[in-house]
Structure 1
């Protein structure tokens, strides 16, 4: 039973870190490296608590995290995403199996559309100059929180 409490504690810690990422990205358009590092550093504890074997389980999670990071780093290089967003996605990919990561990315895309529309409308209504900076960390955090709630906390599904 202690293991279940530790799993819940890890999920709660991840949830708190995601809320912090959301708020800081909203306020300053920055997701700190320390925050992303904390999310990534907690993932091995999650693996161990869930009994994930080193081979192939943990190595596949690391490969998934690197693949997600590389994919979104390419979008960063094209100017489509912020660096903090890329690191946050890579860190989150360490937590979930690839099927769940795909679901998270789909939810992130939908939430990102809403965040983009709201940001552009606000930018125009306040008559600000230049291009608006989209706080995509909000969409990423929302999608990950949705995934945690749907996949791990919803025992009635």
Structure 2
């Protein structure tokens, strides 16, 4: 049961955040809160020491500090900042966190270039009325960075300590 929760909760939150950002240009606070609470509930049952859990929380606080500055200067949305911070808690202070942050930046850059190109193409005019694509086609809308965060999170999630524990448990069955 514990392994199932580890396999489902984080990926579900990443997919939900990405789709939510596409459709509404917002990431609900409950997604970040669910990630944080789920980690705090699951981690002790994986045998993670309290000091390790503290380091995971420190990773989240460190990322929150950096993303708060980005939010304050208008470089990042609030939902993106909270999602990035809650996700960092799952990664902890590890090379997996660095991989996640680098991939999120790369995917975010690709997404930004693609959206600028799309928004300046004739296709944006035709798709602007579509409820699924309206925010993507709107040149005045921001970049739904939750897409990049979600994809990067899904790609790097197998490297997280909690997922490594779950994979080891399943391999031992």
Distance 2:157 2:87 in 1: 11
Note the residue ranges of structure 1 that are not aligned, 5 or more in a row. none
2:100 aligned to which of 104, 124, 128 = 104
Contact 1:18 1:141 in 2 (8 A): yes
Following superposition, the deviation at residue 149 of structure 1 comes to 3.8
Equivalent residue, structure 2, for 1:70: 65
1:114-125 to structure 2, matched below 5 A, reads 114-125=110-121
What is the TM-score with the length of structure 2 in the denominator? Answer: 0.78
State the SS of the aligned residue for 2:44.
helix
Contact 2:59 2:89 in 1 (8 A): yes
Distance 1:144 1:129 in 2: 26
1:135-150 to structure 2, matched below 5 A, reads 135-149=144-158
Q: State the structure with bigger RCO (CA 8 A, min sep 6), 1 or 2.
A: 2
Distance 2:7 2:44 in 1: 14
Distance 1:42 1:103 in 2: 22
Following superposition, the deviation at residue 132 of structure 1 comes to 4.0
What is the TM-score with the length of structure 1 in the denominator? Answer: 0.86
The Cα RMSD (Å) is 2.0
**Deviations 1:100-128 (CA, angstroms, capped at 9, x unpaired):** 11110011011111111111112212367
Note the residue ranges of structure 2 that are not aligned, 5 or more in a row. 126-136, 169-173
1:91 aligned to which of 86, 102, 123 = 86
Distance 1:133 1:105 in 2: 20
State the SS of the aligned residue for 1:30.
coil
1:38 is the counterpart of 2:34 = yes
The structure with the largest alpha-carbon Rg is 2
